[in-house]
Amino acid sequence: MTTLQPQGGDPDTNAGGIGIKYLPWQITLFLIALILPIEASFHIGPLRLTPYRVVLLFAIIPCYRRVFSGKAGQVIATDKLLIYFSLWMILALSINHGILVGLQSGGILMLESLGTYLLARTFIRTEEQFCSLVKLLILLIIGISFFTIPEAITGINLLRPHAGHISGRLGLTRAFGSFDHPILYGCFCASTISLAFFVSTKKHLTRSSHTIRSLWMTVTTFMSVSSGPIAAVTVQYILAAWEKITRSIPGRWGIFSFILVIMYIAIDLFSNRTPMKVILSYLTFSPTTAYGRLLIWEWGIYHNVVDHPLFGIGFDDWVRLSWMSPSMDNFWLVNMVQFGLPAFIFLAAGILQLLSKVGKQTFSSMTMQSIKKGWLFSLIGLIIAGCTVHFWNSLYAWFFFLLGSGVWIISPCEPKTTLLIVRPE
């Protein structure tokens, strides 16, 4: 186990680690609003405003000005690509449903995607702020877990008593918590596992403490009993294990990518099923679920995206077999089907550009190395979950917030104090 010794700064702060007081109040308010139940929303005309949307309404223009004036660090390609993504959504909806729907529904989607990205991009700019963010996230999920663990066992949802139930699995009720669906709750918790494992702000937080925190996040995720969140968990543990066992090997992530390609080819050659069917069988709870996900992908691509490649079909019902559910359990496919391939390309290019830039950063500080890995692995886990579930409402906003919260890693500002980060071995 290796540590960084604190140098300078406030002795009291160094003694106890970083606190939530370093987190800008705008971020604290947004995260608290994000986990409030849907019953806290209200309507203004045709628009439904949730608490976190209200926060974003006041924040989006000041944050936009700050980012594109260079006051929140250098403007990067991802910033521009997410603007193109948001504008294309509005354009696609306007073409499919008229300008009024384009501005109303497209505007809300822009608020939840670009708005949350810019909020995190603006106010998460230092080690102190990012570590404070992680601390608040862990505290919020621990607090929610005191409701969702009993909910999964008893079937009683104290946070949303009128939410109803979805058929349980493995002897557990699928916990909603304060979210709209167990999948959303599970993915939110799953996206914090690597952050909990790699990022610390306490002076004496040991390796076992890191493990306990990440295991707690894992247990809370499992209370959703959903395949998408569990896939995100699995991916993060695989990445963390590979990082540990190959730490001294140069080019290890290139080797990892090569192994994945070889495995895909081997499955294609030696299995009587396609690689996609094999992969989905491991990412879902049952062969039936895996088959359903595959059908969604095939019909979504070949009977919807191919027929409407530029502007998609908007909110119209998608073409599918008569007995298939209207829900489309794939975040990336939904964007292609509803808004067309350009929207997906803008979004995917923006994400990949940021992942690449952050991944290429090297730091002598173990603090920054740990933060980088925690953010990368958490985001990758959520990206994988998006292949089997759709993100909407609070989880949709959270995905873009998590994306924006990592931009500062490209050019970190000097923190007011030097943090002590214990790196799990």
C-alpha dist (Å) from residue 254 to 131, 242, 246, 259, 410:
29, 12, 12, 9, 21
Residue 104 is predicted with a pLDDT of: 94
Burial class for 335, CB neighbours closer than 10 Å (0-12, 13-18, 19+): buried
Cα–Cα distance measured from residue 219 to residue 223, given in angstroms and rounded to the nearest whole number: 7
The candidate with the shortest Cα–Cα distance to 200, out of 334, 41, 366, is: 366
Say if residue 10's pLDDT is above 90. no
Backbone torsions φ then ψ of 73, nearest 5 degrees: 95, 175
**SS3 readout for the chain:** CEECCCCCCCHHHHHHCCCHHHCCHHHHHHHHHHCCCHHHCEEECCEEECHHHHHHHHHHHHHHHHHHCCECECCCHHHHHHHHHHHHHHHHHHHHHCHHHHHHHHHHHHHHHHHHHHHHHHHCCCHHHHHHHHHHHHHHHHHHHHHHHHHHHHCCCCCCCCCCCCCCECCECCCCCCCCCHHHHHHHHHCCHHHHHHCCCCCCCCHHHHHHHHHHHHHHHHCCCCHHHHHHHHHHHHHHHHHHHCCCCCCHHHHHHHHHHHHHHHHHHHCCCCHHHHHHHHHCCCHHHHHHHHHHHHHHHHHHHCCCCCCCCCCCCCCCCCCCCCCCCCHHHHHHHHHCHHHHHHHHHHHHHHHHHHHCCCCCCHHHHHHHHHHHHHHHHHHHHCCCCCCCHHHHHHHHHHHHCCHHHHCCCCCCCCCCCEECC
Lowest mean pLDDT: which of 91-95, 247-251, 295-299?
Answer: 247-251
- CA dihedral defined by 69, 71, 76, 80, rounded to 10 degrees? -40
CB–CB of 220/144 below 8 Å? yes
User: Does the pLDDT value for residue 213 go beyond 70?
Assistant: yes
User: What pLDDT, on the 0 to 100 scale, is given for residue 16?
Assistant: 41
Tell me what pLDDT residue 122 has: 95
319 burial (CB, 10 Å; 0-12 / 13-18 / 19+) is middle
Average pLDDT over residues 206-210: 72
Residue with tokens 């919807």: 304
Of residues 206 and 56, the one with the higher pLDDT is 56
Percent of the chain with pLDDT over 70: 86
Region 90-117 average pLDDT: 96
- pLDDT band (50, 70, 90) for residue 20: low
Mean pLDDT across the stretch 395-399? 97
Mean pLDDT of the chain: 86
**Tokens for 117?**
């990205």
For residue 118, which of 200, 184, 48, 63 has the smallest C-alpha distance? 63
What mean pLDDT comes out for the span 258-280? 76
Q: What is the average per-residue pLDDT within 396-415?
A: 89
Does residue 5 register a pLDDT over 70?
Answer: no
* pLDDT for position 405: 96
Choose among 252, 279, 281: nearest CA to 263: 279
Alpha carbons 282 and 275: distance in angstroms, whole number: 11
